[in-house]
Amino acid sequence: MRGFALLLCALQVSFGQIVAKKFVFPGDSEGWTIEGCPLCTKANANAGLEIGDEYGGSEAFYFRAPSSGLGGLQAAYGGGLSVDLIHSGISGSSSYIAAPDVILSSDQFNVSIGIDGVIFADGEKASFAHASLLESAGWTVLGPAGTFSATTCSSVCGDAAVGGGQQEACQPMTGVLMASVLSSLSTILVRGGYATGRETSVLRKLVLTEPDAPQMPSMEPYHRE
């Protein structure tokens, strides 16, 4: 029956009132695949999905969430995203690979957005891997849908964006853009590879949570100070 439980919706109830809805992607559900590591091995372990990079690759690799249940998550805008992941093999900041920890991609809007420093930052694993689903939380536009790298939109698109059919992918980060991506998700990638050399990651769970109260996305570009 695990194949029918790719996405679980759970309601948190406090004093008889619904305060948030959670969209849960268990790591041991069917449909998870590996992105960016053709030589990695995959197995179910510890109620999650395990990836082992036994050949010591030098690229970041990702868990790709099952496609079932990805659509219509715009209600999670303003809420949060959390990752339960176990990792071994990193040996400090010297071997750390800079790349987004989580990537959200929309084929409909032809754009990928990502955020780094959620699971690992400079070789140190976070005790609680969580990111706000707001444009001000550090999300950046990576490029067209299918862009799974650490490059920024400007370096992906550059001057080629003018008249090149990639205007949507090169738009600035706004609340409207983030809400649009959440409403039409085609891909969620959770990073499993963080270092050069051999490493193993076990993804136990990915969770998207709605905010306690609906948020109104802004059309104004967000600029980091």
The CA R_g of the chain, rounded to the nearest whole Å, is 17
Cβ within 8 Å of residue 138, ≥6 positions away: 115, 116, 117, 131, 224
Closest listed residue to residue 37, CA positions, set 49, 46, 25 = 49
Give the Cα separation of 137 and 146 in Å (integer): 22
Residue 135: HSE in the Cβ half-sphere, 13 Å Cα cutoff: 21
Q: What is the dihedral of CA 90, 96, 99, 103, to 10 degrees?
A: 20
The total number of residues written for the chain in this structure: 225
pLDDT of residue 57: 64
- Beta strands 41-45 and 48-53, pairing class: antiparallel
Confidence check: pLDDT of 153 > 70: no
Q: What does the domain layout of the chain look like in residue ranges?
A: 2-209
Confidence check: pLDDT of 214 > 70: yes
Structure-model confidence comparison of residues 197 and 129, the more confident one: 129
Confidence check: pLDDT of 216 > 90: no
The one-letter code for the residue type at 137 is A
Position of tokens 């990928």?
A: 112
Between 78-92, 121-135, 138-152, 198-212, the lowest mean confidence (pLDDT) is in 138-152
Please answer whether residues 24 and 205 qualify as being in contact, where contact means their C-beta atoms are separated by less than 8 angstroms.
yes
pLDDT tens-digit series, residues 56-96: 666 788 999 998 878 778 899 999 999 999 888 765 555 77
Q: How many CB atoms lie within 10 A of CB 206?
A: 23
CA distances from 203 to 50, 63, 96 (A): 6, 8, 19
pTM over 0.85: no
pLDDT of residue 134: 94
What 8-state DSSP symbol labels residue 97? P
pLDDT of residue 159: 45
Confidence check: pLDDT of 151 > 80: no
Confidence check: pLDDT of 35 > 90: no
Q: Quick one: what percent of the chain has pLDDT higher than 70? A: 72
Cβ within 8 Å of residue 108, ≥6 positions away: 184, 186
Two tokens at 68?
A: 């079932």
Position of tokens 């990805």?
A: 70
